[in-house]
Every structure is written in C-alpha cells, then in structure tokens.
Amino acid sequence: MAIAHVQRDLGAHHSPDLFHLQQAVGQALTLPLARAVAQAETDEASAKAAWNAARAANDAHALPPWSGSSTRVRRAY
C-alpha cells in the first residue's frame, strides 16, 4: 500500500535492489561491529577485575588510622 502511494502520488520508482544492497551492507558491517563490542566488553571486565584485585591488595596492607603507625601520624612527630 505504501509502495503504491509512493509510485502513484510521488512518482518515485520502486526498486527492490536498494533494499537488498542495504541488507548486504548491513550484514557486512554487523559482524565486525559485534566483534568490536564483544572485545570492548571483555577488556572492560578484565580492567575491572585487575582494579578490584589491586584495590583489595591495597586494602589488605593498609593500616587503620588509629594504629599509630600511619604515614600521617609519623609525619606529625
């Protein structure tokens, strides 16, 4: 119905080749883009895991401020 309107009222030529060309281009671009998105998600997960591990290691070695041996207390003397 919409194609008939475009052909009749607007005088536009209908060509199914354009649809197939757009579909082929879309399919050609979809896989590389999907791979790039998946790689970015993997890299993000790795970076978050490394950051969490470094933070946990830092927290495990950090002394509480009331212990008397923190850097801030040592600088005060």
- Separation of alpha carbons 32 and 56, rounded Å: 36
Residue of higher predicted confidence among 12 and 34 = 34
Taking only the tens place, the pLDDT of each residue in 25-67 is 888 889 999 999 999 999 999 999 999 998 888 877 766 656 5
- Separation of alpha carbons 63 and 69, rounded Å: 8
Residue boundaries of the structural domains of the chain: 35-62
Q: What pLDDT is stored for residue 22 in this prediction?
A: 82
Q: Letter for the amino acid at 22?
A: Q
Are 63 and 70 in contact by the 8 Å Cβ rule? The answer is yes
Residues 6+ apart with CB under 8 A from 7: 13, 14
Q: How confident is the model at residue 68 (pLDDT cuts 50, 70, 90)?
A: low
